[in-house]
Amino acid sequence: MKRLTWLALFLAVVVSAVWVAAPAMSQSKVVKIGDLGSKIGVFEGYGKYQTMGVQMAVEELNAKGGVLGHRIEIISEDDETKPGPAVRKAEKLILQDDVKLLVGAVSSGSTMAVMDVTKKHKTIHWNSVSCAEFMRTTKFHKYYFSNQPDSRQQANGLAKYILDKMGKKVYLFYTDYAMGQSDGRQFKTAFEKLGGEVVGVAGAPLDTKDFSPWFGAINASGADVLFLAFAGTDSLRLMTQLHSFGMTKKYKLAGIDCFLLQQDLAAIADPMEGFVQLNHFSPYNPDPNMQAYNARFKKKFGVDANIAAGSYDAVLFWAAAVEKAKSFDPDKVAAAHEGMCRDNTHIGRQCIRKEDHQVVMDMHLYQVKAGQNLPIARIDGKDAIGEPMVGKDPVEGFTWEIKKKK
């Protein structure tokens, strides 16, 4: 029995030593990058497609010799769509795995929490899915970059179209956390500025299962348009329930760019019919750049791409900046990013604005028809991005108060 005990202890020590030493032994001429996102939970789909985008970029880069002669290795981690695990995994990626780039997270709440980690440990951080406005304003730091159109860009592009073509009275329904609040604040501000009327606002918690308690207030508001700031499985449930209450026919519908992945659209094509959103990707856009990207993506993964295409561009931007800086030093790489442009991306030319590290790029207004996101107008990136507001609240003095018009 004693021999067995010592044997078990010996094996445990050997396994532990290998476990700890393994990462250290595989580091020669390899540079690691971290992919942090939701692999489970309400935003699972976005996290998985973000990983695909990163994989595609890394394969292409490695096929050309990697970056600065280093083969790129991806380490993917799941943040469970919660700030706690997101911070823990970001620390693991930076402090243990020594990643030189962190892409993620998906949920805006998690991304903001991760920004504190990347700021503290001076790590280049690309966001290509989260869209809360605070990342390029009050939370901004020099190592942070984003090619996801944020709330302000989306609101600026969408508000005018809704006012001109859809209706003057909007009810604003949002998911009650960083992303939804930010989208709601920006849209209300932009819409009222143009002369529109927001007749009601309501927030439902993330991962709400039953939205019907809010439907009475929506129906009593007298709105023409229902503006929805939800994402992931929340959107699926919301649209199904709105449809079953007959509200998808009663109101014109509009929403944010990450409202629903194209892959989920077919399943609820009827409820989504006519839905308008501002977006930077659709596989049904005939634009040659977008089709070329989608064809490559589909060839590799067997499915259409979606808005997580931004993660692909994020990795390529970082690799180009490293080559330009001739170093992995985060300060030099961050400086090399500023002002950098890439042509012939899925949305054409993308340029990183120096002041707030937000990528300026064109977007399209899309409308859902028979389960497909079809383009109805192109919005110039410069018209939507707004002025840089680092360290400032972009809608200072904002109030959710409803201003009734006579």
Question: Within a 13 Å sphere around the CA of 173, how many CA atoms are in the beta-carbon half?
Answer: 29
Say what the alpha-carbon torsion angle 104, 110, 111, 112 is, to the nearest 10 degrees: -170
Residue of 212, 215, 190, 213 whose CA lies nearest to 200: 215
Q: Is 63 in the site for another protein (CB under 8 A)?
A: no
Can you read off the two tokens belonging to residue 268? 């609820």
Provide, rounded to whole angstroms, the least separation between the CB of residue 83 and another protein. Answer: 5
34, 104, 109, 196: residue in contact with another protein (rule CB under 8 A): 109
Q: Is 40 in the site for another protein (CB under 8 A)?
A: yes
Cα–Cα distance, 29 to 70 (Å, whole number): 5
Provide, rounded to whole angstroms, the least separation between the CB of residue 108 and another protein. Answer: 8
68, 87, 267, 377: residue in contact with another protein (rule CB under 8 A): 87
Q: Is 25 in the site for another protein (CB under 8 A)?
A: no
Q: Is 88 in the site for another protein (CB under 8 A)?
A: yes
Q: Is 206 in the site for another protein (CB under 8 A)?
A: yes
Provide, rounded to whole angstroms, the least separation between the CB of residue 378 and another protein. Answer: 33
60, 66, 168, 176: residue in contact with another protein (rule CB under 8 A): 176
In this structure, are residues 144 and 125 in contact, taking their beta carbons and an 8 Å threshold?
A: yes
Q: Is 112 in the site for another protein (CB under 8 A)?
A: yes
Q: Which stretch binds another protein (CB under 8 A): 28-36, 111-119, 235-243, 361-369?
A: 111-119
- In sequence order, the 6+-apart residues with CB closer than 8 A to the CB of 5 are none
163, 178, 226, 268: residue in contact with another protein (rule CB under 8 A): 178
Cα angle at 368 between 362 and 374, to 5 degrees? 45
Residue 395, Cβ neighbours under 10 Å: how many?
A: 19
Report the b/e string of 264-295 with b at 16+ CB within 10 A.
bbeebeebbbebbbbbbbbbbbebeebeebbe
Cα–Cα distance, 78 to 76 (Å, whole number): 7
Q: Is 181 in the site for another protein (CB under 8 A)?
A: yes
Q: Is 96 in the site for another protein (CB under 8 A)?
A: yes
Which is nearer to another protein, 5 or 28 (by Cβ)?
Answer: 5
Q: Is 39 in the site for another protein (CB under 8 A)?
A: yes
In this structure, are residues 215 and 245 in contact, taking their beta carbons and an 8 Å threshold?
A: yes
Q: Is 205 in the site for another protein (CB under 8 A)?
A: yes
Provide, rounded to whole angstroms, the least separation between the CB of residue 69 and another protein. Answer: 25
In this structure, are residues 265 and 368 in contact, taking their beta carbons and an 8 Å threshold?
A: yes
Q: Is 152 in the site for another protein (CB under 8 A)?
A: no
In this structure, are residues 70 and 31 in contact, taking their beta carbons and an 8 Å threshold?
A: yes
Q: Is 116 in the site for another protein (CB under 8 A)?
A: yes
Q: Which stretch binds another protein (CB under 8 A): 4-12, 58-66, 212-220, 325-333?
A: 4-12
Please count the residues of this chain forming the interface with another protein, following the rule CB under 8 A: 36
In this structure, are residues 106 and 129 in contact, taking their beta carbons and an 8 Å threshold?
A: yes
**How many residues does this entry show for the chain?**
406
Which is nearer to another protein, 78 or 197 (by Cβ)?
Answer: 78
- Say which residue the tokens 């989260």 belong to: 130
Q: Which stretch binds another protein (CB under 8 A): 80-88, 143-151, 194-202, 345-353?
A: 80-88
Residues that bind another protein (CB under 8 A): 1-2, 4-5, 8, 19, 39-40, 75, 77-78, 82-85, 87-89, 91-92, 94-96, 108-109, 112-113, 115-116, 139, 176-178, 181, 205-206
